[in-house]
A and B are shown apart, each in its own frame.
Chain A
Amino acid sequence: MENKIQEKIYSQFGVEAKREKQRRMWLKIDQERLLDLLRFLNVLGFEELSGLSALDWPKQEKMELVYHLWSYQEKMLLSVKTMIARESPGIDSVVSIWGASAQIQEREIHELFGIDFPGNPDLSELFLEDYSGPPPFLKDFNWRKHYE
């Protein structure tokens, strides 16, 4: 089952999904081909965007997005990672693929990490009402200074 999916991804995109253990695979792809890959995976049966997360790597001047996809049919989790620039970060929205569940997760990431998602219809504030400071989940966010 897992091998088949690995093969399909490899033949289409030339990237290798690493199998970590049963039901867990990890995959890295560049930003340009991300949306095509995710659309392809959705058709393969990865129906649930279980989690969308961001990581801040200030030393490399990069940010990383991680899409955790679950397939109810194959009973497998595939995590897709991609790097983006840290300077005015942005990446195409996946709302067209996973609908409202993607929309709300991108809205959260936008608020906490300041990443823009062109194509997402609503990136308004979520948890932080009337907050106008820098995105609080960035590694260089100085919370001591912020609350002085």
Chain B
Amino acid sequence: MSEDNQNYQEFFFGPAHPGSGNFSVKLKLEGEKIIAAKSIPGYLHRGFEKLMEYRTPMQNAVLSDRICVFEPLAWNLVHANAVEELMKIQAPERAKHIRVILAELSRIQSHFIWYGALSMALGFDTGFKLAFGYRDFILDVFESITGARVYPAGYICPGGVRRDLPEGVEEKILKTLEKIDEMRLWEELENPTFQARTKGVGVLKLEDALKLGATGPVLRASGMKTDVRKDDPYELYSNLDFDIPVEKEGDAYARFRIGLREIKESVKIIRQVLKKLPQGEIMEPSLANLAVPYNLPEGEVYVRQEAARGEAAIYLVSDGGIKPYRCKVRGPSFFHLLPVLEHLLQGEQIADVPVIYWSLNHCPADMDR
């Protein structure tokens, strides 16, 4: 019970909790109130940064899938961009368009997982099933294009993409976008219980958010208008028309609203890109033979992108060999699950732990790497 006769209990949320994923938090409780929380990472630590030092960029493209289970294509893109920037090459225009379509579809399906999990945390099973059901339409598109539903095996690779779009897939994507629009049902499904459980829960103030390293939707829900796609554009984003949703409250409900509005913006982006999709090459010719290793020029780059969960970055260093000298992966969940979560849980009720936890749109895999 306690060392110094104080009335508190220690309690683990995870790693075996059905809602926790590969992660746990040690909670110190006084009655039902949390007086301290300590995150315990490491359940998914696979040492990617070290593994990448022993592999060529094309092999690393396949590894980069696994950095985050929920959005492998986004991490494919960060890695591919890092290698291209180091080699001072650019992917062909058609490949860039395909990449943006996939990155945005990936963002939407990742946000669906977010809602599914948040609904589950609230005991709102219908929401969970709806979100995961609709996500499957997107996975079908991924299967047509990349050959796999979840892990594309380095489909977005240094130099372009591995295969051209199959015939008729544009049609399929447009139909999927209609399905996604159908998900506006969400707004109608927001019932008083949903709001009561999320409004005013887990409030993150802007100044705290900045100190704690929050990025992406979590930071935008606290009132900061920032998005790597706008502030530090990559691929086609400087030529696309979309808005950055911002909310002020910083609570679980605001974060939920951000994701919902971002899905709308992503749909807008995909429609624009599909309209402009050019014909042509899909791979930079010098890298087109995937089996031939190439030298990475000596140098270093830091590439940042906006993944669904926040700022995703790779610091790639080369000493001129065929393998990178160092590859540091910056996962947004590293900050959201460690300092941010520990900060938010303090003083909250134990029943709100799953809601706060899932409202952060995290992925233990990109935290542990």
Q: Which residues of A contact B (CB under 8 A)?
A: 23-24, 47-51, 53, 55, 66, 68, 70, 72, 75, 77, 79, 98-101, 103-104, 108, 112, 126-129, 136-137, 143
Contacts and interface: CB of A to CB of B under 8 A. Distances in A.
B302 A104 contact: no
| Residue in B41, B317, B328, B368 whose Cβ sees the most chain A Cβ within 10 Å | B328
Given A104-B335, A128-B45, A129-B42, A72 B224 contact: yes
Contacts of A55: 317, 325-326
A49 B224 CA distance: 16
Contacts of B213: 48-49, 98, 100-101, 104
Nearest to A79: B302
Interface string B309-322: 00101010100000
Contact of A127 (B330, B339, B368): B368
B210 interface: yes
Interface size class of B (residues with CB under 8 A): 20 to 34
Given A47-B210, A75-B232, A100-B212, A53 B50 contact: no
Contacts of A50: 302, 304, 311, 313, 330
B343 A68 contact: no
A50 B214 CA distance: 10
B49 interface: yes
A57 B116 CA distance: 46
Closest 3 CB pairs of A and B: A101-B213, A100-B339, A99-B211
Interface in B308-350: 311, 313, 315, 317, 325-326, 328, 330, 334-335, 338-339, 343
A49 B210 CA distance: 9
11 contacts: A50-B302, A55-B326, A72-B224, A75-B231, A77-B302, A77-B304, A99-B212, A101-B211, A101-B212, A101-B335, A128-B45
A66 B49 contact: no
B302 A127 contact: no
Contacts of B338: 104
B212 A53 contact: no
Given A100-B212, A103-B339, A53 B224 contact: no
B47 A136 contact: yes
Contacts of A53: 315, 326, 328
